[in-house]
Structures are given as structure tokens and as C-alpha cells.
Amino acid sequence: MQIALIAPISCLTLASRTGYHLVLAQLLTQRDYATFFAEQKGYRILDNGAAEGARVTMPDLSRLAKDFDFDEVVVPDVMGNASKTITMARAFEKFAEPGRQYMGVVQGKTVAEIVNCATALSFLDYITVLGVPRHLTSIHRDLRVNFGEALHNMYDRDLPLHFLGSGEDPREVIRLSTLDTARSHDTSMPFVAAYKKSNIRTFQYKGRPDDYFNLRPPNMELLHDNIRTYLDWAGVEPIC
């Protein structure tokens, strides 16, 4: 499984440690952020901003994908709303381009809604990856792991999974990394733990601080230790 580190702008160079990136569309208006990711050679995924409450329009998302030549795009979705997510995914199909990957995000508030959303997304030929958001762990802490384990038996298409964000339990990544369906995962947890002056081994993640992306660097020794621990849990060897 690959890991994309979601770093504040002051620590962006640390995002290069894995060669895998989730890039927030709404932050591409900031010069330093845009320049950094324009120059990255690894696999780059363009996020749609929904989880940040800053959803980018479909035409703008498509334009950014072309301008920066992203490898993959997170298809527009609505947090917790399966039916609206399905409608938006169907509407976005006209923006899909050959040669680019597209991640449909599995939304819903119940297991039945989540399964229905995943099924509908799997029927869209342009969808090549399913994104599993962190809020599913609020329904049940093991729901993302259970979904990943069941996926092989649910659909004819072999769609890999990307796990969007981290739940409260930092060790969830250990179980996610054992799934055959798990392709990748993005997280800001090592950074947030460092800002909270906490070792990630004993940390409970509650989300990012306000203005996270503009914060100054935390204790760097603690941050590096947190990153090493998280990547070790995920079975990822840092490239730098």
C-alpha cells in the first residue's frame, strides 16, 4: 500500500518521502503549494475539496487536472450523502479523459447506503478506483477494514481502494495495509500528532487544527519519528 502524506505548506518537502501525493484543489491558488506539486515526479491525485468544505466546481476540477497533468482525480462527492454522490459521479463522466484515473468516493450514512453507492460507482466505466472516506469509521471503527475485505466478493470489476484520511485509531493503517484491495491511503496524522506534542503511538486523531496548512513547523524531531512510525506500520519504505 502506498501512503500520501498531507503536510502543511511549511513542511511540504516531507511529502516527497513517499512519492505518492494527494493534492487539494482549493490550495492550488497558493503559489508555494502549486509550485511544489507541479514539480513532483511521483503519483499525484487531485482531491475535489469536498472533505475540506471547499468543493471545486466540475469544470474547474477538470481544468486543474489538465493544467497540472494529474495522474488521478477524486470525482466530486457529498460527504455522507450516497444519492447525491452517485448523481454527481454520473454528471462528471463527461469530463473524464482517456489516460487519467478517476476515484469515485463511497458515501453513505448506513451500511446499506454505502454498499448501494459503491455498486453504482462500480457500474460507471470511467471510475477506476474507489475512495473510502474516514467518516465511515464514525459508523463503526472497523467499517473501512470490513468493506475492504468484502470487496472481492461484491463486484465483477477489480477496483482498488484508496483510503481517504485517518480514523481516530492510528493503528488502523496496519490492518488496511494487509488488504489485497488496498492500493493507497492519505493521512495528516503524523503531523497533527506532532502539533499536539504527541507521539503517534499513543495518539487519538480528532481531525486537523484550524488553518492547518498555514501552521509553522512543529517539533521536527517528534514529527520525523511520527512519520517513520506511521510508514513502518503501513509497510512503506521512504524514498528519501
Contact 9, 213 (CB under 8 A): yes
Residue 239, domain member (yes or no): no
Counting the structural domains of the chain, the total is: 1
Residue 230, domain member (yes or no): yes
**Triad 115, 140, 20: Cα angle to 5°:** 75
Residue 162, domain member (yes or no): yes
Give residue 9's identity as a one-letter amino acid code.
I
> What would the grid cell of residue 34 be?
502549486
Q: Residue 28: give its domain's CATH number.
A: 3.20.20.105
- Closest alpha carbon to 7 in 236, 232, 230, 234: 230
- Residue 162, SS3 per DSSP: strand
pLDDT exceeds 80 at position 52: no
pLDDT the model gives residue 239: 84
Distances (CA, A) of 26 to 38, 46, 57, 167, 239: 15, 10, 10, 23, 27
Distances (CA, A) of 205 to 42, 138, 156, 200, 224: 27, 12, 35, 9, 17
pLDDT the model gives residue 155: 67
Q: What is the pLDDT of residues 185-235, one digit of tens each?
A: 999 999 999 999 999 999 988 889 889 999 999 999 999 999 999 999 999
pLDDT the model gives residue 152: 66
Q: What is the pLDDT of residues 116-148, one digit of tens each?
A: 999 999 999 999 999 999 999 988 889 999 988
Question: Whole domain around residue 162: which residue ranges?
Answer: 2-234
pLDDT the model gives residue 150: 84
Residue 149, domain member (yes or no): yes
Q: What is the pLDDT of residues 68-100, one digit of tens each?
A: 999 999 999 999 999 999 999 999 999 999 999
| Rounded distance between C-alpha atoms, residue 22 and residue 195, angstroms | 21
| Rounded distance between C-alpha atoms, residue 115 and residue 151, angstroms | 10
Neighbours of 138 (CB within 10 A): 13
Neighbours of 132 (CB within 10 A): 28
Burial of 216 (0-12, 13-18, 19+ CB in 10 A): exposed
Residue 240, domain member (yes or no): no
According to DSSP, the residues that pair with 227 across neighbouring strands are none
pLDDT exceeds 90 at position 113: yes
Q: Which helix (H) or strand (E) holds 154?
A: none
Q: What is the pLDDT of residues 164-180, one digit of tens each?
A: 999 999 999 999 999 99
Confidence of residue 56 (pLDDT cuts 50, 70, 90): confident
Residue 102, domain member (yes or no): yes
pTM of the model: 0.95
| Rounded distance between C-alpha atoms, residue 24 and residue 74, angstroms | 10
Residue 21, domain member (yes or no): yes
Residue 23, domain member (yes or no): yes
pLDDT exceeds 70 at position 156: no
